[in-house]
Each structure stands twice: as C-alpha cells, then as structure tokens.
Structure 1
Amino acid sequence: MTFRQLALKNIQGNWHRYIAFFLSSTFSVMIFYIYASFIFHPDVVNGAIQAADKVRHGMIACEFLIVMFSFFFVLYASFAFLKTRKKEIGLLTLLGMTRSQINKLVLYENAAIALLSIAAGCALGTLFSKLFFMALAELLQVDNPIRFLIVPQALLYTAAGFFLLFLAITLITLIGMGRNQVIELLKASKQPKTMPASSGWLAALAVVCLGTGYGIAYTTSANMIVLVMLPVTGLVVVGTYFLFTQASVAILKRLQRMPGFYYRSTRLITIAQLVFKMKDNARILFVVSVLSAVILTASGSVYMFYQGAREQLLDTFPQSIGYAEPGSAVTPSMRPEQVQRSLAESGVQVTGSIETVGIVASAELNTPGPRMSKVLLLPADVYNEAVEPAKGAGRIAIEPGHGLFVNPYRGTEFVYFKKGDILTTAEGEPGAGLQMDGQISGAFLNLPYETNRVVLMNDGDFQALLTAMPEEKKLAYAGYEIAPWEQSGAAVNELKSRLTKAQADRFSDRVSSYLEMKQFSSLTLFIGVFISFLFFMASGSMLYFKLFTELQDDQAQYRSLTRIGVSMQEIRSITSAQIGIIFFIPVLVGGVHAAFAYKALSNTMAFSVWKYGLLIVLIYAVMQLFYFLLTRRAYMKQMKRL
C-alpha cells in the first residue's frame, strides 16, 4: 500500500471527523469563488453594469475577511484532528515509521481534503453563481441581467489561494506535531485529569463585568454610543471568558451539593461529566459564544437597517414631496392643481396636501452653548394639520405670547428650550419675547436644512406678525402625500425635471432616498447573509470537532457504565443532554449579548428593533438545532460501536 492509498484509507475511516471540516471548507471556497466571479466579471470590470462598483468594493473586503477567517478556522481544525490521532501517530512511530514518513502521510491527507474542498466549492460556486448574479441584478435594478460566465481569473485565484492556505496551515501543524515524543503521543489519551477548580473571586468578576457591560449598553444614548462601544465590548468579552472558565464550574459544583436534584435519574453522571467537559471546553465555548454574539449582532443590525429604512424615511420626510420657496407663494408648477395633474399622468394619486407660509428669524439656541441659528415661525394649526391625520397625535394648543420649539431630529437629548425660557432673537427679528413651553421632537414638514428648526406660535399671534412682515422674511411651503409613493420614482423625477436648477435645489422627496437606501440595505443584507452563514458553520464545526476529539475517552467511560448496568437508552439520554448543553449554551449567552446590543441600537435609532432582533435570534437557534441533531446522530452512531 502506497502513502497516497494509506492517506485515502485514513480519510475514509475517519470521515465522521472530517465531514464538518470538509463542508465548512467547501462553503468557504464556494462563497469566495462566487464573490471573485463578480469582482473579476468582465462586465463589472469594464463598468458595463450600473452601480456595480460600490458592490465590488464591498465584496473585495469580504474576500479578505473570508481568507483571514478560513486561516484560523482551518488551523484550529488541523490541530483538533491531530489531537484525536496522537495515539495512532505514536503507534506508527513505534512500528518504525520515520518522522518524515509521518509528515508525508499527514501532508497527503490534508492535500486530499484540500483538493476535494476546492473542487467541490468551485463546482458549487459555478452552479450557484447564476442565481447569485440574477439576485444582484434585481437588487441593482439593472435593465439587462448579468451574464453567466466561468471567470478564469476567479477560478485561478480561488483554487491557488485556498491550496496555498491549506498547505501553509499543514506545515504549521507538522511543526507543532514534531515537538511531541513517541511516549507522549502514545499516552496522550491516558493522561489523568485533575478535579476542575474554580475561583469565587473570578466567578464574581464575571458577574460584575457582564452586569456593568449590560447596564451601560441598556442605558446608553445616541450621543454616547461611540464612546462606550469599546469599553462595553471589553467588559462583555472578559466577563464571558470567566463565565465559562470559572462560573460554569462553580455552578455545576453547586448542583452537586444539592442531593435532591443531583441524585435524581441520570443527573449524577451527566453533571459529574459536565464538570470536566465544561472546564475542558471552556475556551472553545467562550470563542463560540463571542462568535455567536457577533453573528447575531451584525446580522440583526443589517436586518434592522433594512427593515427600518422605511420608518426612518417617514420620520425624515413627513411628506412624499416637499417644496419650499422664499416669499409668500410657491411657483405655479408646484401648486396643488398642477402637481395633481402632472402626477396623474403617471398613474400616481395625490392623497393629501398642505400649504403654508412661515416667517424666517434668527434666534438664540441654548444647547450646546448659546448660539444664533435660523428658525421658522409657524402657526400651531399647521403642525396639527400635518401630524394629526398621519400619526394620530393630539392637537397642540398654544396660548398667546407663548411658543413651542420643534426639534426635527428624534433621539437627540439636546435641550434647546426649557419650559419658561424666553425666545431671544437678533435685533429687529420677529418672535422676540415669546415664552417657550419647552420642546418636542420630530419633523412634520420637508423643510430645507437651514430652516428645519421650527417655533410654533399661537395662530392669532402668528397671523398678526405675518401681516407686518416684508416678503423677504417669508418662506412658502407646499407638501404632498402620494400613493403608491414607493413606486413613484419616475413620476417624481418627471415633476422635478420641470423646475429650474435653483428651484430643484429646494425640492425634496422621500422616494429617491428610499430607493437608494433600500438598494444599499438589500445589497448589504444579501452579502452579509453569506458571511454570517459562514461564521455560523464555522462555530458549529468547532463544537463538532471538540466533541469528536473526546470521543475515544467517552467511549471508554460509557463502556464502563454499561458494565455496571446503565442501559444504552440512558447513555443516549446522558449524551444528548451533554451535547445539547455544549451546543446551546453559546447560543443562549450570545443571544443575551446580542439582546443588549439591540437595546443600545434601539436607543440610537429611536425606534424599537426587538421584533427584528428576535427573528434573527430564532433563525439562529433553529439553525443551531439542525446542526445539533446532525452532530448527535453522528456521535451516537459512533457510540453504538461500544
């Protein structure tokens, strides 16, 4: 038998260990090849596909991420496989096989797995690249679909790059293996395990770090999120590490001191073994928990931005179309009759309109630091007319001589006016002396940036003030709600094209911003799903590897249990409980981490993201359940060989 045949026989005999590594590696190669096919596609390189350039840059960044992640993942898997085969390698050495021959054998095995993964990944990438291109063409809204091509440059970069990656990791593995003596390899599985110990102080530190990090994340605001992000991440990571290395052992030992719970059914065996397993697996559980939190937070954030795009734009653009013009009247082409007629030609209906004239003034804002800024004085009835039908808000009534400040930005904590403050304006400016009733947040008109801060007045006071104002102090506004606004891009662009350049600068619409944001969010979500799924497969595979590294020890323990009368059904129950805890504890911990990240994100975005975050966590839990069932099936199949 040649070395190549022996290597293939070893892979075939240990396929239950290699399958998760093979599938994860194949998926990494597939995603890398699909992205590379788009990056090096002739139509993308030549600029024939509109808006593809920004997607190309994003995919290049993802390629680097895939390579770096694959390096550490394959490196971990290689050392995990080496640990399971120490006794085998020691036996081969004892039978006369030289170090160079063993290195040659391992090299052949890793090369075979690498070639199989690369071949399968490139084949699947070619198969699914057409669907990928079709989906991208739909998201980019290009007129012609992206051509299906087998891009030679992408194939070369993928095959050569991953083969070199596997080769480099194999060499690193062989260097690590070369340090072990024969006697160490033979006795690797016989090393006695000491009783795991835990520190009460370090367990308490885990609680303090996690509690502090969660507390900061729960109470942070939009203004503080950037400052607290790194400290919170550091606290949670440190707390998670000590949670698994110290607190988990302390909790299990506490359960052992509860006779009513510990000595019931097979819990004695389950918990006694878990004490050792949790200590042995603490680092991998820590890594998988942090990885799960990253997956859930990143996926949830992208999905929230995608789903929240519409809600954000409804806040930013209260009307589908808005137009502001100096003076007391807007241009005729933006009058209600003309707008309705123009949009009707494209099948778009005007469902509501609002017209008003405001007064532009320079007022002193109190925060941050007193400063002069443009404000627009408007009657309270305009606010009631714009907000009440759309959002069901209660009507605002303002007494004579009073005013109410409207901050257009939700979620900010700047207090520009407190209740009882007096409005101070520049000399000769209108509105001076108004007693402010505080402030409210939220835009209600599509006003230009320089006049988007509004002071609402009593209707009678405003009308008397408006009559005395010169034309240059007035600002006319017309806003329109249309249906269906999401599909009215062409009609709105046609309406805007009838304005002069100066008038078009004062025209604002929700539709163009929505389409641009939707395209960006969809592309980000589309690309991010593949990366998140890659991370998920890798995290599940790490747990799979760790379980199978302990398979021989578990087989010996369960063989002893069967001799003293423990049934196979009870062994199956013990094994399922232990595998389930190892698989789902990281999901639980990562889900809790992500929940507080979602809360911080809610504080930043000023709207609830829980329904989106909960959906992502549920999807992740279901996927982990599927991975758990496959792993348990493979594990129990090996356990039946007792």
Structure 2
Amino acid sequence: MNFRQFAFKNVFRNKRLYAGYFFSCAFSVMIFFVYSMLAFHPELSFQGQGNYGKGAQTGMDVAQYIIYVFTFFFILYSMSVFLKSRKKEFGICIMQGMSDMQLRRLVFLENIIIGLTATVSGIAIGLLLSKGMLMLGSSVLSLEKSLSFYMPVKAIWLSFAAFTLLFLFISLFTATILRSSSLIDLLKGTAKPKPEPKASRVLAILAAVLLIIGYAIAFVVRGVLVLFALLPVAIIVSVGTYFLFTQLSVYIINKLKNKKKLYRSSTNMITLSDLAYRMKDNARMFFLVAIISTVAFTAIGTLVGMKSMFTNMISSSTPPLKYESYADNKQAAEHAALIEQALAKRNISFELLVIKEKNVTDTGTNKDFIFIKASDYNRIMKEDVALGQDEARLFYRKDIDMGYDRGISKGQETSLTLEGGRKLAVTENGEMPAPLLQSAGGSSVAVVSDEVFQELPGSKHDSTMYVYDVADWQQTLAVSKQLMTELKGNGEHYRFSSRAYELNDINQGFGQILLTGLFIGAVFFVAAGSFLYFRLYADLDNDRIQYRAISKLGLTEGELSKIVSTQIGLLFFVPIIVAVIHGAVALNTLQNTFSTNLVLESSLVLGAFLVIQIIYFVFIRANYVKKLKDVM
C-alpha cells in the first residue's frame, strides 16, 4: 500500500467524521453553483430593464463573493474540528515512524480527496436539480414562463475553479497546523482533564448591561439616526453576545449548581455539571452561530419586509387600470375607446369612473391642492356627502418619511384661500382613504361642492382621470402590457398605469434581490447548523466513555435520553433563540424606520428558521442517542 492509498483509506475509515464534512462541503458547492447558474442565466439579465436592473445584477455579483468568502471560513472551521478529533490517531502515526513532513502530506492529501470529491459532487447534484431550481427561480421572480434549461458551462467552470483553489489553499493551510503539537499532546488528544468552568461576575453583569443598552438604542432611534446607530449598536450587541455565552451562561449554571435541592434532584447533577463544560467549550462557536444566524434572519426579513412594503404601497395607491389625461391632450377619447375595446376583447368586465380634477394654489400658504367635485367624491367613496358653498374637506397622502414628519403642518389648515380672496372653511382634515388615493392621486386633495368646482378657473395642470375598476384585476397583466405598447408607454400629455403591471415590475426586480438574500441566508443557516453538528459529533467518543461509565452506576436508557435531549436542545436552541431575539429587534427597528407594519413578514421569516432548526434537532438527537445507547 503506497502513501496515496493510505490517505485514501484513512478518509473511508473515518466515515462518521468525514461524511458530515463531505456533505456540508458538497452542499456549499451546490449552493454556489446553482446561484451562479441563475446569475449567468441569459434570460435573467436585467441590465437596462426597469429601475431595479443594475442594482439587482450588482447584488447578485456581490452575493457570489459573500457566499464564497463565508464558505472559506466555514470549511476552515470544520477542518480544525476534524484535526482536533484525530490528534490521537496522528500521534500513533508518529510513534510508528511517520515524519512531520509525511504527516502534513497525509493531511494535505486527505483534504484534497474530500475537497475535489465534494466539488464534483456538488456541481453534479446542482445539475440534476437545475430544472427544479430554475422553476423555483421563475416562481420567486414572478416570471410569466419558466426559465429555460441551459448548459451552464460558465457556472460549472467558475464553481470548479473557485472551489479547487479554495480546497487547495485550505489543505496547504491546515497541513501546517500540527507542526507545533508535541507527541504527548497528540497522544492525549482531547482526553486531557479540563479545569472547572468559572465565570467573572463583573463580565456576566456587563453582558446583560450591554445587551439591554443595545436593545434600548435599537428601539428608540428613528429615521436617519438608525444609520448612525447601526455600527455602535452592532458592536455593543456583538460584545454583549460574546460575554453572554462565555461568562453569563456559565455564571447562571454555577448559580443553579449552588441550589442544592435543584442540583441533587433526579439527573440534574449530571446535566448541569456537563452543561457548564459544554457552554464554556462551545462559547465561541455559540457566538459565531448566533451572529451568523442573526445576519441571515435580518437580511431575509429586511428583503421580505421591503418587498411587502412596496407591494402594499402600489396596491393601495394604484387602481386596477387608470388613464390620466392632461389638459392639452387631444387623444383622450381615442385612448379611452382603445382601453375599453382591449378589455372587452378579453371578456374583462369593468366599471368606468371619470373624474375631473383642477389644480389650485392656496394663496394664503402657496400650497397646491387637487380639487374634485363632491359628486365625484361620493361616487368614489360610495357616500352621500353634502358640502356648502364655503366649505371644503381636505385629505392628505401618508408619506413614508424615514421617521420624519415632513408633512408636520398637514391636517392643521382651517381654511383655504382662493384667487380673489374667497375663503373656504375646512370642515375635515384626514388621511386619504385608499379609494380616493387610487382615483384622484396626488398628495393633497380638496373636496368642494359641484358649484364651487365649476367656478374655479381652469389651468394647464388640470386633468381628467379614467378609472377602470376590475374585480379580478390580477387577470389584467396581459392586456396592460398590450396597452402599454399600443399607447407607446406614457406620453407627454397622458399617462396609463396598471396595478398588475406595476406589481409585476416590482416582483421581478425584488424577486431577484430576494433570491440573492435567500441564497445567502440558506448558506449562513446551513453553516450555522453544521457548526453545531460538527461540534456535537467531535465530542461523541468522549461522551460514549462518560455515559458507559455512568450507566454502570445505574443510569437507565430513559434517563440517558432525557439528559442528552436537554444538552443537545440547549446546544441547538440557545444560539438560535438569541439570534431570533437579535433579529426581531433589528426588524422592529426597520419597521419603525419606515413606519410600516412588518410583524407578519418578520414572524414568517423567524418562524420558518425556527421550524427548520426543530426538524434538524429531532433528526440529530435521534441519531446521537442511538449511537450512545449502542455502547451501554
């Protein structure tokens, strides 16, 4: 057996450790490959298309770098766990005459074997799943037809070259790690006795104080202040989270151990004693998982929330179909007939509402208002409002003002002054209801009696609105695209708009950006779960020895399951729960900044991640308990 065969067999002799490493690496390659396949898809080039094209394309490119860089650190961490768990094996090899150079060569060859196999496997799996991924991409991007399959040669070569270089570098790097280890350290491996975990009371209190301060600032800041507070809050919360795991958690466990009644009850002595060591040993890993998961939650929650916010804005402000004809438009009747014919041809029933508007300046404040007749208002709102000759009702559009009330004077007018000095008493000030916003538009609308409206002088800024109310407006996308072409977009003297068309434009732009966030979030979350998986299985041999010894003292299988379930549960859920809390605070800040309700979107994102983690826990816990019971 030559040296290469020895390295190859070593990989297969450590299937339990290397299987997790291999599958995680292959999954990372697959994610990067599928992402590249979508980024290079010829039908997904949004450059020059809409307002989001260049931004979306840039986001896709940046996301590739983020995924690649993060994968590097993820694989590097995984390798450090494997090398630590195999120290005893390396010590035996040295005792049998293996030189330091041969040991580094062995580690290098093993890493190359796993890396190249994972790279090829990840690309192959990505190709097999590519059609489904393209269909998923079509759904997320809200495309009318599924993305066509193509041979992603560029994505294949980029993925293969990028990960070959990555594994080559990591293999060279990790092969040098063992040089500073003495033979006695290698032979002892992880069996060296550990000192009792201790925690500083001052640092434990500091952890709680830092987290409280960070959360308080995040809840208080508004508007542009969020941008200035972002970095300080991130630093404060990160430091607080680090001390939470390294100091506060151990401090709380030690306090619980001092409560004799609790400590000596049932199996709590074993659970708490072992838990203190696990929290201390895994503190840095918990910190990393919590921060990574927080980034994933916040990024995806922000993208989902922003998409929902813009979708709601368009849905509330844009009617199913609307044709705005300005004062000097001579094609209004022709265009209105064209729209009605297109709708009738597709058997789309509609209700037409024609509203005349006049643009008038309040001479007292120099503010511009859109004036409409009370009769038109009643038709829009399906009300029966009567106004006197000297009365008006005012409505203002709600602004998304990043926390600032730019319309601070809105709703405070008590009268309007028209040309000639005539005054109209304002009988009502309020936020513009959705039907009025869709039909009349503008930021400020004044409703006056029909007689007063007729007396108002005309101007070149006056307009006539043709509002087409369609019950099933989702079916108007195709006809809206046709009308956009036939009306040659929006002319100088008119404007055509469609709710379905604008939502489709938003969905396509945000769909690609959202897809970017989902892939990044998926990589981060899988990496976080894998950190926990690797750490847990790295301690399996020690746990087997420990529980085999305890079982001889009378520990039952039921008690073993209870202890292990508690320990693994805390291992899996403590960092995730901390991340969920961090993410909820961050999303609440976003909600306050844009003055919009994102509770549903935030709950869906955080809930989805929590459900995935529960499924992951159930699977890992069942396997781990089974492996421990096998030695009892």
TM-score range relative to shorter protein: 0.7 to 0.9
1:452 has 2:442 as partner: yes
Deviation, 1:304, is 3.5
Letter of the 1:622 counterpart: V
Listed as ranges, the matches of 1:106-185 within 5 Å are 106-136=107-137, 139=141, 141=143, 146-149=148-151, 151=153, 153-185=154-186
Equivalent-residue separation in structure 2 for 1:429 and 1:198 (angstroms): 80
1:234 has 2:224 as partner: no
Listed as ranges, the matches of 1:401-550 within 5 Å are 404-410=394-400, 413-417=405-409, 421=413, 428=419, 439-440=430-431, 444-446=436-438, 452-457=442-447, 459-460=448-449, 463-464=451-452, 466-472=454-460, 474-496=462-484, 499=487, 502=491, 505-550=494-539
3-state SS of 2:199 partner: coil
Equivalent-residue separation in structure 2 for 1:229 and 1:385 (angstroms): 48
1:377 has 2:371 as partner: yes
Aligned to 1:368: none
Is the contact made by 2:91 and 2:187 (CA closer than 8 Å) also made in structure 1? yes
Deviation, 1:520, is 2.4
Aligned to 1:289: 290
3-state SS of 2:554 partner: coil
Deviation, 1:339, is 4.7
- Residues 201-210 or 356-365, more deviating: 356-365
Equivalent-residue separation in structure 2 for 1:274 and 1:620 (angstroms): 25
3-state SS of 1:445 partner: helix
Deviation, 1:543, is 0.8
3-state SS of 1:347 partner: coil
Aligned to 1:332: 333
Alpha-carbon displacement from aligned partner over 1:532-584 (angstroms, at most 9, x marks no partner)? 22222211110111122323332333233223222343223211210111101
- Residues 471-480 or 378-387, more deviating: 378-387
Letter of the 2:13 counterpart: G
3-state SS of 2:252 partner: helix
Is the contact made by 1:328 and 1:476 (CA closer than 8 Å) also made in structure 2? no
Is the contact made by 1:362 and 1:375 (CA closer than 8 Å) also made in structure 2? yes
- Residues 596-605 or 78-87, more deviating: 596-605
Equivalent-residue separation in structure 1 for 2:101 and 2:108 (angstroms): 10
Letter of the 2:394 counterpart: L
3-state SS of 1:506 partner: strand
Q: Please, which of 376, 380, 391 is the counterpart of residue 386 of structure 1?
A: 380
Aligned to 1:317: 318
3-state SS of 1:349 partner: coil
Change (3 A) 1:496 1:526: closer
- The number of residue pairs the alignment matches comes to 624
Equivalent-residue separation in structure 1 for 2:553 and 2:315 (angstroms): 69
Change (3 A) 1:499 1:128: closer
1:551 has 2:540 as partner: yes
Letter of the 2:25 counterpart: S
- Residues 63-72 or 428-437, more deviating: 428-437
Letter of the 2:300 counterpart: S
Deviation, 1:274, is 0.7
Alpha-carbon displacement from aligned partner over 1:27-51 (angstroms, at most 9, x marks no partner)? 111122233344556777999x999
Is the contact made by 1:402 and 1:436 (CA closer than 8 Å) also made in structure 2? yes
Change (3 A) 1:251 1:174: same
Listed as ranges, the matches of 1:594-609 within 5 Å are 594-609=583-598
Is the contact made by 1:355 and 1:477 (CA closer than 8 Å) also made in structure 2? yes
Equivalent-residue separation in structure 1 for 2:466 and 2:550 (angstroms): 82
1:4 has 2:7 as partner: no
Letter of the 1:181 counterpart: S
Letter of the 2:112 counterpart: A
Equivalent-residue separation in structure 1 for 2:378 and 2:227 (angstroms): 36
Alpha-carbon displacement from aligned partner over 1:409-449 (angstroms, at most 9, x marks no partner)? 25662343266556687x9587767568655256633589x
Aligned to 1:28: 28
Alpha-carbon displacement from aligned partner over 1:202-242 (angstroms, at most 9, x marks no partner)? 33332233233333434544554434333333332222222
Equivalent-residue separation in structure 2 for 1:410 and 1:386 (angstroms): 24
3-state SS of 1:357 partner: strand
- Residues 546-555 or 93-102, more deviating: 546-555
Letter of the 1:440 counterpart: E
Change (3 A) 1:418 1:165: closer
Is the contact made by 2:339 and 2:483 (CA closer than 8 Å) also made in structure 1? yes
Aligned to 1:19: 19
Deviation, 1:338, is 6.9
* Alignment gaps of 5+ in structure 2: none
Letter of the 2:289 counterpart: V
Letter of the 1:452 counterpart: G
Change (3 A) 1:91 1:611: same
Change (3 A) 1:112 1:633: farther
3-state SS of 1:178 partner: helix
Is the contact made by 1:354 and 1:386 (CA closer than 8 Å) also made in structure 2? no
Equivalent-residue separation in structure 1 for 2:243 and 2:189 (angstroms): 27
Is the contact made by 2:325 and 2:494 (CA closer than 8 Å) also made in structure 1? no
Letter of the 1:5 counterpart: Q
Equivalent-residue separation in structure 1 for 2:275 and 2:53 (angstroms): 51
Deviation, 1:121, is 0.7
- Residues 345-354 or 140-149, more deviating: 140-149
Q: Please, which of 540, 563, 577 is the counterpart of residue 566 of structure 2?
A: 577
Deviation, 1:638, is 3.8
Is the contact made by 1:218 and 1:599 (CA closer than 8 Å) also made in structure 2? yes
Letter of the 2:605 counterpart: I
Change (3 A) 1:430 1:384: farther
Deviation, 1:606, is 4.0
Equivalent-residue separation in structure 1 for 2:410 and 2:511 (angstroms): 41
Equivalent-residue separation in structure 1 for 2:420 and 2:127 (angstroms): 69
Alpha-carbon displacement from aligned partner over 1:443-486 (angstroms, at most 9, x marks no partner)? 633589xx8221435x34x7426414244464433323224322
TM, length-normalised to structure 2:
0.87
3-state SS of 1:96 partner: coil
Equivalent-residue separation in structure 2 for 1:399 and 1:205 (angstroms): 68
TM, length-normalised to structure 1:
0.85
Letter of the 2:279 counterpart: M
Deviation, 1:380, is 6.1
Letter of the 1:641 counterpart: V
3-state SS of 2:612 partner: helix
Is the contact made by 1:360 and 1:475 (CA closer than 8 Å) also made in structure 2? no
Aligned to 1:350: 350
Change (3 A) 1:606 1:388: farther
Alpha-carbon displacement from aligned partner over 1:495-533 (angstroms, at most 9, x marks no partner)? 455658645653333232111112223333344433322
Equivalent-residue separation in structure 1 for 2:351 and 2:261 (angstroms): 69
CA RMSD of aligned residues (A): 3.7
Letter of the 1:202 counterpart: L
Aligned to 2:553: 564
Aligned to 1:86: 87
Letter of the 2:585 counterpart: F
Equivalent-residue separation in structure 2 for 1:199 and 1:376 (angstroms): 66
Equivalent-residue separation in structure 1 for 2:37 and 2:393 (angstroms): 61
Equivalent-residue separation in structure 2 for 1:429 and 1:227 (angstroms): 49
Deviation, 1:309, is 4.8
Equivalent-residue separation in structure 1 for 2:174 and 2:569 (angstroms): 30
Is the contact made by 2:328 and 2:460 (CA closer than 8 Å) also made in structure 1? yes
Equivalent-residue separation in structure 2 for 1:72 and 1:260 (angstroms): 44
Alpha-carbon displacement from aligned partner over 1:571-615 (angstroms, at most 9, x marks no partner)? 232112101111011221111222223323333454432223222
Equivalent-residue separation in structure 1 for 2:421 and 2:499 (angstroms): 32
Is the contact made by 1:352 and 1:481 (CA closer than 8 Å) also made in structure 2? yes
Letter of the 1:583 counterpart: F
Change (3 A) 1:607 1:387: farther
Deviation, 1:277, is 0.9
